[in-house]
Structure 1
Amino acid sequence: MIDSYRHKGLRRALVKKLKAKGIQDERVLEAINTVPRHFFLDTAFLEKSYEDIAFPIEEGQTISQPYTVAFQTQLLEVDRGDKILEIGTGSGYQCCILLELGATVFTIEYNQRLSHKARALLHKMGYRPKFICGDGSKGLAAFAPFDKILVTAGAPIVPQTLKDQLKVGGYLVIPVGDHKSQKMLRITRLSETEYEEESFQNFKFVPLLGEYGWK
């Protein structure tokens, strides 16, 4: 696992692109500048690693476009020490960004093979989130409540189970829509029974699988 001067230069160029696209949170940009995205892709695709594009990984999944990762992370407004539930570990790249921001991360993945591969890679990189393999659409009640919840797959609805697992004042960031396009939403828990919903631009994610996702 080599992170060369060239790789670091490519990351700096990527950060400039993200700034130009409207990402302003300097801590998020610094995290993206720190995490070697090429570690998550086959070595044959080095030239693509720092382009602002999504890229296929195993099991029909993707590593998200860097802009998408930055946009979702910026919406979360991560504070150091936040307890965050990430739904959809995938490659593990988004999880590393959250960890670089000082969060304690519980990451849940539906696909067992992806979960095991991400665990092995992140441990090799020195990251130690809590890995769970299971139905992320149900959240993780045993460890709730969470300061923030991030969903990295397209959901048909906002699962009430996830809203229930937020702390008061916490954020749930989730893309909701059909298989073609999803609207990015941020749900803020205002009280035990009240929530506020903000709507942002459209994105395209792989489907959220599970009981409250796409069956």
Structure 2
Amino acid sequence: MDERQRERAQMVEWQIAWRGIRDPALLDAMRRIPREAFVPEALRDCAYEDSPLPIGCGQTISQPYIVALMIEAAMIRPGQRVLEIGTGSGYAAAVMAALAGRVYTVERLAELATRAGECFARLGCTNIELRTGDGTCGWPEAAPFDAILIAASGPRVPEVLLEQLVPGGRLVMPVQDEHWQQRLVRVTRGATVADRREEFLCDVRFVPLIGAHGWAEDA
């Protein structure tokens, strides 16, 4: 086992499993996916720290525990179709690709999308589809999805994304209230969009969700 593998194993044990993440397939995926490949070269020695890291363009790669918490909450299973809004570094999409049948990920910033795509190619992540655009509109032509994860905080859960979930599908995202507090929630869709169940997971801090169904660019 090389040094990076030891760092990954320690990250999974001390930062993730110790905090209550139990999904064995998820823990195994996070032991295998090289997080250092998704951060700027100057920060690779910090890749396994218990914190978010800057990746450029005013964005961050989330704290490992938060990545694990969101993915476990989405309850992703083999063969399922997953939509991610906010590709960022691409790390979360790569972890989900080790669990799901196919991952569709949308990034608003072209520079980040290009970098993430290059990482996917280097790592052989062949079941990820990536595009640049307004993720708040989802990916209608690829819907429906079993799970949707949104890696940015919006003012509300976008109805247009709930419409792209299968009945019983899960959407996980941070929602910001009028006091600027952010809550990570899981919304499970019923037979219709109006038939839903929302659960609070924890307090978080994410970058804003920019787009037609999020915040305005200049908000």
Aligned-pair CA distance for 1:44: 2.6
State the match for 2:12 in structure 1.
15
Counterpart AA for 1:31 = A
Q: TM-score, normalised by structure 2?
A: 0.93
The gaps in structure 1 that reach 5 residues or longer are: none
Aligned-pair CA distance for 1:180: 4.8
State the match for 1:56 in structure 2.
54
- Which of 42, 57, 67 is residue 40 of structure 2 equivalent to? 42
Preserved contact between residue 145 and residue 165 of structure 1 (Cα < 8 Å): yes
State the match for 1:195 in structure 2.
196
Aligned-pair CA distance for 1:103: 3.1
Count of residue pairs the alignment pairs up: 212
Query: CA separation in 2, counterparts of 1:181 and 1:67?
Result: 20
Aligned-pair CA distance for 1:102: 3.1
Query: CA separation in 2, counterparts of 1:158 and 1:120?
Result: 31
Which residues in structure 2 correspond to 1:96-175 (within 5 Å)?
96-128=94-126, 129-175=128-174
State the match for 1:88 in structure 2.
86
Q: Secondary structure at the match of 2:186?
A: strand
Q: Percent same amino acid at aligned positions?
A: 38
Query: CA separation in 2, counterparts of 1:114 and 1:187?
Result: 28
Aligned-pair CA distance for 1:124: 1.2
Query: CA separation in 1, counterparts of 2:184 and 2:44?
Result: 29
Counterpart AA for 1:184 = L
Query: CA separation in 2, counterparts of 1:46 and 1:61?
Result: 16
Query: CA separation in 2, counterparts of 1:201 and 1:207?
Result: 17
Q: TM-score, normalised by structure 1?
A: 0.94
Preserved contact between residue 78 and residue 103 of structure 1 (Cα < 8 Å): no
RMSD value over aligned CA atoms? 1.4
Preserved contact between residue 92 and residue 122 of structure 1 (Cα < 8 Å): yes
State the match for 2:183 in structure 1.
183
Q: Secondary structure at the match of 1:57?
A: strand
Query: CA separation in 2, counterparts of 1:99 and 1:180?
Result: 32
Query: CA separation in 2, counterparts of 1:5 and 1:180?
Result: 43
The gaps in structure 2 that reach 5 residues or longer are: none
Preserved contact between residue 180 and residue 204 of structure 1 (Cα < 8 Å): no
State the match for 1:78 in structure 2.
76
Aligned-pair CA distance for 1:141: 1.1
